Structures are given as C-alpha cells and as structure tokens.
Amino acid sequence: MTTATPLATRRPADIRRAWIERDEVALLDAREEGPYSLAHPLFAVSAPLSRVELLVYNLLPRRDVPITVYDDGEGYAEPAARRLQALGYSDVTLLDGGLAGWIAAGFEVYRDVNVPSKAFGEWVEHHRHTPSLPAAEVKALIDAGADLVILDARRYEEFRTMSIPGGISVPGAELVKRVHDIAPNPDTLVVVNCAGRTRSIIGTQSLVNAGIPNRVAALRNGTIGWTLARLDLDSGREGRFPDILSAAGEDAGRRRARGVADRAGVGRIDARTLDRFRGDERRTLHLFDVRTPEEYEAGHLPGFRHAAGGQLVQATDEYVAVRGARIVLADDPAGGGGPRADMTASWLSQLGWEVHVLEGDVSALGSESGPDRRILPPVPEVGAETIAPRDLLALLENGEAAVIDITRSPRYRAGHVPGAYFSTRARLAGLIASLPKGVRPVLTCGDGTLTRYAVADFPLADFPGRQRPLLLEGGTRGWVAAGLPLSTDLDRLGGEPDDIYKRPYEGTDNSAAAMQGYIDWELELVDQLKRDGAHNFHVI
C-alpha cells in the first residue's frame, strides 16, 4: 500500500504577514460551521470537509493559489487538503499547529460568521460616527405621523420573514440608486435598518457618503433592537422599491455613487483590460454582477457570478476565499458600470480588496441568461450504483436498507425520507460502520449532487464484507417527484447538529439573551480589531 506524501505546513505568522502585505493566500477552516463560528482567525473561510467540492471552485478559481487548511484537532484538515489536491490545487498546506497553533502564536480569534464584514461595519461606525436612532424613538416618530421612510437593507427574503412596520425592502446596493425617488423631499427622514447592525450601518453611511440632502439614521441594532424594545414586527410584507426610476433620480444616483467610488480608490476598467485580467495567471480574479437576482437571470455578462451588492459587502467570505484577490464588478449590462457597482466597490475597497468596476462598451463580451450556477468539479469515476425511489421503498419495507441523508440539517428538519438518518459527510463512515450487517446504506441529499462526491470516500477495501453505498436517484427531490411522502420526525437526527450556526438575528424564535449577547459581541469588535492589526481596513 502506497503511503501518501506528508503535507507541508505554513506558520501562522506567514499567513498573518501575507494578510498585512496583501499577498494572495487562502486560509480554510475544514470544520463544520458550528465549531467554526466559535473561534477562527479573522480572514479564515468556512469550507467544511463535508462540502468541499460544492464550494471550492467558486471560492478558489486559481488552482495554484496558496491554500492553507486547518482544524482544531478533529482530523478534518488533512483529508480536506488531500481532496483539494485531488481537485487540482497545487499549493496546499496545513496550518502549523492548527487553530491551537494560531492561538499559541498570540493571534486573535473571532466568533460568529461573516466576521470581516461585521467587524468592518463597527469600524466604520467608530470612525465616522454613523448616526443612529433607538427603536423607541423611531416608533414614536411613526406614531406621530412624522415625515420618514424606513428602508430595509437586507435581502428581500429576510424582509418578508420579519420587518419594521411600514418598512420598504431596499437591499443595500440599491439605496443610493433609488433613494432620490423614494424620498424626493429633502425634509424626509431616511431610516435604514437590517436585522442587527452591519447592514444598517453600511446602508446609512452609504447615503451619508453619497451626500444626499436628507437626514439619515440607522435603526440602532435593527430588528433585534426593535424586538428587545418589546415592539412588534410585521411578517409577510411585500413592500419593495419601485422598479421604475425617474430620469432625475437615476442621474443623481449615478453621479453620487461614482463620486464615492472615486474617493475610495476604486479602479475602472474596460473590456480590453478585463481580458488582460483574465489572462493574468498570477492573480485570482472574481467577476460579480451586483444587480438583483431577477435582473441577473434576465441577462448578464458571461463568466460573471451573481452577488447582490449588499450581500457581497455583508458576506464577502462566502464569495471570495483568497485574501488579496482581485475583484471586478458589473452593474448595467449595456455599459458595465452603475451606482450599485460603484457603491459596492467603494465598500470592498475600504475592506482592503483590490476592486474594479467594469464600464464602457461591453457588447463584445456577449450575454447569457439564467440563474447563477455553482461551478462543480467532475464527478469521480467510482462506478456508484443508484436506486430508484420506489425500489428503495421496497428495500426499506423489508428492512434491507438504511437511508442516510447528508444534506444540511435545516433541510433535513424540513422533510426527509421516512426513517432516514442524518449525518454530516465528514462523520458518514462511522454511521455506515454502525449499521447492522446485511443492511445496505443508501445516501441522499437535496438533489443528489453531494452524494455523488461522497460515495468516492468509500473504497471497498475499507469496508470488508460490505457493499459500497447506493445513491438515491435524484436525491430527496427525486423521492418527492415519485409521489412518496416526507417525514419531519427527528428520532434519527442524533445530537444537536453542528453543521449550521444558528444566527441570533435571523428568524423570529431567538431568545432575548441570545439577541442581546450578539449585539454586545458586535460592540466589542472594534477593540479586537485594534489588537489584531492585520485587517488593512480604511474608512473614507
């Protein structure tokens, strides 16, 4: 049996130095999102062993970029690194000492998720003294019939779940583009909210930076602050920004956004320079279209992924894993540039990224339509067998099969094949080994994609006397399409899953203590950034 060549390591100090010097490097956390959310370095990106193939081609488009993987002693980092090598990445190392080594080196670790963006939001408020109003004061203004508008800077789906009464959904990158038509009277107070603090702060400061004549304020602590003040939220609202812009409003949005981007040092490129960027094998390049999902699907530039501007600023680490990468944004498909690209770029630049807006004549680049599609590696050639849903039903009725669902736990909770076990992929081998002899494991997930990668983890030599797992055709969706029922029974969920971090600012079932604890944590981030010193944030 051939022994794999030991993986090289990188020192924590080398990673931190690369961040400071703006050299390209990716630091990946191979644990599930739950443990990741408890402690991780500032620019570490969550890329669990369980879902590596689903994430990395989008997060890491350059195959020879320096990548370092770590865990906290669970044994996930090395197999994740080996998988990356198998996917074609040539410079993959382990973090010397793992997370414990980072801490032993005296470097900061952070909790929660999307930390760079959230910490940056607090950094902005600290340095710019972004105006805000407490929930009780905003409620009093509403009750008094004051001249104000409440603009919700979150995604529309979040707005639909819960919103401030009377609020309008205007996701972050849309604010400067549309505020002139929504609040044409300069005497109208503009209040910006999100669920917590970050998008409220960034949205409010966007309008301040753009120099709109209105008074602007963030709703302090967002819907969390509203709830902690014992005020009621709406749910199911459909109030969105108007689709049609006036000529004057559109011109004002373009002019003001461009001025902000110029002050932030945003680059501007044409189609020819984009071609040169694409040909630069020494740099990681990400191309994003920052418009609404509907606009993107109707038509976009080839090679540009969708990332609504507000979310790209709020959760950059979900789109880009390489600190030091180059980012190009597009907005208007006819001319590339536009206020959403300019405002998004202004914030990414302040977050420390090299960012450019594509503008000018881009017609030669062509156009394509349809939703954003994840780039996936080729499916391993392992000769995996599949089973049709009704054939599986017969095996289950005879006690000859056990279904194991490796989808994410919220989807499992929402509905799964009756009797299915839940497992993260990283723990799948242990569950399969525990099944009774003669029971054939059958893997499923939402659409069957992840199972096709997971089955390659099970060479028959490692499971003497057993057969390789079967795959449910079409995954759980295929089961439903065959007219078979789902179950919400959680007897086989096991212990509390750690694949998902439950965000205290999403949904309506969070405890007051969890919400207050989250706000308190955000308020501590400025001091932590000062101790860290490796972020390269600047504020205009």
d(CA 347, CA 333): 21
Q: Confirm or reject CATH 3.40.250.10 for domain 120-245, answering yes or no.
A: yes
Quote the pLDDT of residue 507.
73
Give me 242's structure tokens.
């108007």
Q: Tell me whether the CATH fold assigned to 266-365 matches the one assigned to 386-481.
A: yes
pTM for this model (two decimals): 0.95
- Separation of alpha carbons 205 and 125, rounded Å: 8
CB count within 10 Å of CB 369 equals 9
Q: Which pLDDT score is estimated for 1?
A: 39
Spell out the alpha helix ranges (H) of 366-436.
389-397, 409-414, 428-434
Identify the pLDDT of residue 437: 86
| 433 within 8 A of 460, measured Cβ to Cβ | no
pLDDT for residue 459:
67
Fold adopted by 266-365: Oxidized Rhodanese; domain 1 (3.40.250)
506 sits in the region (left: phi over 0; alpha: psi -120 to 50; else beta) called beta
Domain segments of the chain: what residues?
A: 9-113, 120-245, 266-365, 386-481
Which residues in the chain come in under a pLDDT of 50? 1
What's the token pair of residue 437? Answer: 């002899």
Structure tokens at 482: 């065959």
- Rounded CA-CA distance 341/500 in Å is 31
Q: Which fold has domain 386-481?
A: Oxidized Rhodanese; domain 1 (3.40.250)
CA neighbor of 505 nearest in space, from 162, 168, 206, 136: 162
What is the structure's pLDDT at 461?
52
CATH superfamily assigned to domain 9-113: Rhodanese-like domain (3.40.250.10)
Give the model's pLDDT for residue 468.
Answer: 80
Residue pLDDT, tens place only, 53-92: 999 999 999 999 999 999 999 999 999 999 999 999 999 9
**In this structure, are residues 408 and 370 in contact, taking their beta carbons and an 8 Å threshold?**
no
Residue 464: its pLDDT value, please? 55
For the purposes of burial, counting CB atoms within 10 Å of the CB of 382, is it exposed (0-12), middle (13-18) or buried (19 or more)?
A: middle
